[in-house]
C-alpha cells in the first residue's frame, strides 16, 4: 500500500481533458523506460466527460471504462502502481470550472454523481489489491470562498465518498488532495485513513513562469535561490513551506506529492537548482512523488527548457541531469 511503500513516478495524461476525442492508449515504451529507471508509480488524471454526455452523470458509457481497465492492466505488466484520479468530476475542475453545469460543493446532484462514480469504480475493481491501485478522489480542490467552497464542505464531500467506497471495499487505498490547489494541508481529515497528496509548485512564479493559462499579467524575473515578489526562496524556505504537511504526517497520515514540475520558459540550470532542492526535501521526509508529467513541457523528455543537454536513452531524448535528480 502507498503508506508503506514510497511511490515515485509520473502523471500520464491518457484521459486528462476531453475535447471531443477518444482517450489515448498507454505508450508501453514509456512505461517500460519508467520501470527500468526504478520508478513504481503512475497517476492517471481523468475527465468524466469522456464517458458522460450532456451532464447525464448517471448513465456513463462504460465502454470508455475499458480504457481504464487497459491502463491498470498495462501498469501492472510493468510493476507500476496506478492511482486513478478525477481531474474533472461532475461539478468541479480546477481548470475551466465554468464549463460545469452543477457545483460539487453545493451538496446536490454533483455530489450524488461524484459518489455514484466512485462506487462504480469501487465495484469494478473490487478484488484488485491496493498494492496495484489507489483512488485519488479529486484533483486540487479550490481556494476558500471560491464557488462557495470551505473546509466543512470539503470534509462533507470527501467523507461521504470515502464512506461509500469503504462500504464496498474497506481495503481500498484512498488519496485526498490538499485544498487551495493541492498545496494546503488538511489536518481535519487526518482521521479517515487516507493518503494526503501535496503539490510541488512553489515558488509558483518559477514553476509556472509565463504559463499562458495562468491569470498573471506581469511575471517577476525567476531566480533560485533568490527573491521574487519580496519573498526569499531557497531550500530552507522549501522545508518551511512543507512544515504543515510534516505536522499532518505526525498525526499518522501518509504524505505523497501527487504533482510537481517546472514549465519550460526558464533556463534549465535554474530549473535544476530548484528541482534538486525540492526533491531533496521529499527524499529527506521519506515521501513519494510524481512529476507532471513524463514527456512535454513539465517532463523529463523533450521538455524544451532553454540550454538543456539531452541524452538519447532507449529512443527518448532525456534530460538526464533531471532524471538523475528525480530517481528514487
CA distance 119 to 105: 19
Q: Is 194 domain-assigned?
A: yes
In the chain, DSSP finds a helix count (H) and a strand count (E) of 9, 13
Q: How far lies 18's CA from each of 43, 96, 254, 278, 320, in Å?
A: 17, 12, 32, 32, 32
Q: Is 240 domain-assigned?
A: yes
Is the per-residue pLDDT at 4 higher than 70? no
Q: 152 CB contacts (<8 Å, ≥6 apart)? A: none
Could you report the per-residue pLDDT of 142-152, keeping only the tens digit for each?
999 999 999 99
Q: Is 137 domain-assigned?
A: yes
Cis preceding-peptide flag for 292 (omega within 30 of 0): no
Is the per-residue pLDDT at 127 higher than 70? yes
pLDDT of residue 262: 98
Residue 287: CA count within 13 A, CB half-sphere: 28
pLDDT band at 128 (very low <50, low <70, confident <90, very high): very high
pLDDT of residue 20: 87
Q: Is 65 domain-assigned?
A: yes
CA diameter of the chain = 53
Domain that holds residue 138: 8-326
Q: Is 1 domain-assigned?
A: no
Q: Is 266 domain-assigned?
A: yes
pLDDT of residue 328: 93
Residue 134, C-alpha cell as written in the block: 489507489
Is the per-residue pLDDT at 126 higher than 90? yes
Q: 279 CB contacts (<8 Å, ≥6 apart)? A: 289, 325, 326
Average pLDDT of span 159-168: 98
> Using CA atoms in the order 279, 43, 38, 301, what is the torsion angle rounded to 10 degrees?
-70
Is the per-residue pLDDT at 198 higher than 80? yes
Could you report the per-residue pLDDT of 247-259, keeping only the tens digit for each?
999 999 999 999 9
pLDDT of residue 2: 44
Q: How many domains does the chain have?
A: 1
What is the value of pTM for the model shown?
Answer: 0.97
pLDDT of residue 1: 38
pLDDT band at 3 (very low <50, low <70, confident <90, very high): very low
pLDDT band at 215 (very low <50, low <70, confident <90, very high): confident
Could you report the per-residue pLDDT of 57-92, keeping only the tens digit for each?
999 999 999 999 999 999 999 999 999 999 999 999
Q: Is 3 domain-assigned?
A: no
Mean pLDDT for all residues in the chain: 96
Q: How far lies 319's CA from each of 38, 113, 294, 312, in Å?
A: 16, 41, 11, 9
Is the per-residue pLDDT at 264 higher than 70? yes
DSSP 87-119: EEETTEESS-GGG-SS-GGGTSHHHHHHHHHHH
CATH number at residue 159: 3.20.20.80
What's CA 51's distance to the chain center, in Å?
21
Q: Is 298 domain-assigned?
A: yes
Q: 19 CB contacts (<8 Å, ≥6 apart)? A: none
Residue 191's φ and ψ, nearest 5 degrees, are: -95, 0
Amino acid at each position: 500500500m502507498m503508506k508503506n511503500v514510497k511511490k515515485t513516478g509520473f502523471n500520464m495524461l491518457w484521459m486528462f481533458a476531453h475535447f471531443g476525442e477518444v482517450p489515448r492508449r498507454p505508450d508501453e515504451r514509456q512505461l517500460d523506460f519508467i520501470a527500468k529507471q526504478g520508478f513504481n508509480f503512475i497517476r492517471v488524471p481523468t475527465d468524466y466527460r469522456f464517458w458522460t454526455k450532456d451532464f447525464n452523470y448517471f448513465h456513463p458509457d462504460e465502454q470508455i471504462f475499458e480504457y481504464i481497465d487497459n491502463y491498470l492492466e498495462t501498469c501492472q505488466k510493468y510493476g507500476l502502481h496506478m492511482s486513478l484520479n478525477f481531474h474533472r468530476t461532475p461539478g468541479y475542475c480546477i481548470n475551466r470550472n465554468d464549463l460545469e453545469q452543477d457545483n460539487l460543493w453545493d451538496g446536490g446532484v454533483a455530489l450524488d454523481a461524484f459518489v455514484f462514480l466512485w462506487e462504480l469504480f469501487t465495484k469494478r475493481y473490487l478484488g484488485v489489491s491496493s498494492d496495484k491501485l489507489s483512488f485519488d478522489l479529486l484533483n486540487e480542490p479550490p481556494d476558500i470562498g471560491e464557488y462557495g467552497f470551505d473546509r466543512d464542505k470539503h470534509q462533507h464531500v470527501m467523507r461521504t465518498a470515502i464512506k461509500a467506497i469503504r462500504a464496498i471495499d474497506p481495503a481500498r487505498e484512498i488519496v485526498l488532495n490538499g485544498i487551495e490547489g493541492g498545496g494546503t494541508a488538511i489536518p481535519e481529515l487526518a482521521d479517515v485513513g487516507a493518503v494526503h497528496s501535496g503539490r510541488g509548485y512553489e515558488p509558483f512564479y518559477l514553476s509556472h513562469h509565463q504559463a499562458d493559462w495562468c491569470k498573471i499579467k506581469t511575471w517577476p524575473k525567476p531566480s533560485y535561490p533568490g527573491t521574487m515578489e519580496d519573498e526569499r526562496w531557497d531550500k530552507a524556505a522549501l522545508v518551511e513551506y512543507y512544515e504543515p504537511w510534516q505536522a499532518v504526517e505526525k498525526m499518522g497520515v501518509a504524505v505523497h506529492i501527487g504533482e510537481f514540475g517546472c514549465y519550460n520558459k526558464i533556463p534549465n540550470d535554474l530549473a535544476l537548482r530548484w528541482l534538486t532542492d525540492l526533491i531533496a526535501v521529499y527524499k529527506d521526509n521519506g515521501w513519494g512523488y510524481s512529476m507532471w508529467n513524463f514527456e512535454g513541457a513539465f517532463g523529463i523528455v523533450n521538455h524544451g527548457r532553454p540550454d538543456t543537454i539531452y541524452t538519447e536513452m532507449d529512443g527518448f531524448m532525456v534530460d538526464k541531469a533531471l532524471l538523475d535528480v528525480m530517481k528514487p
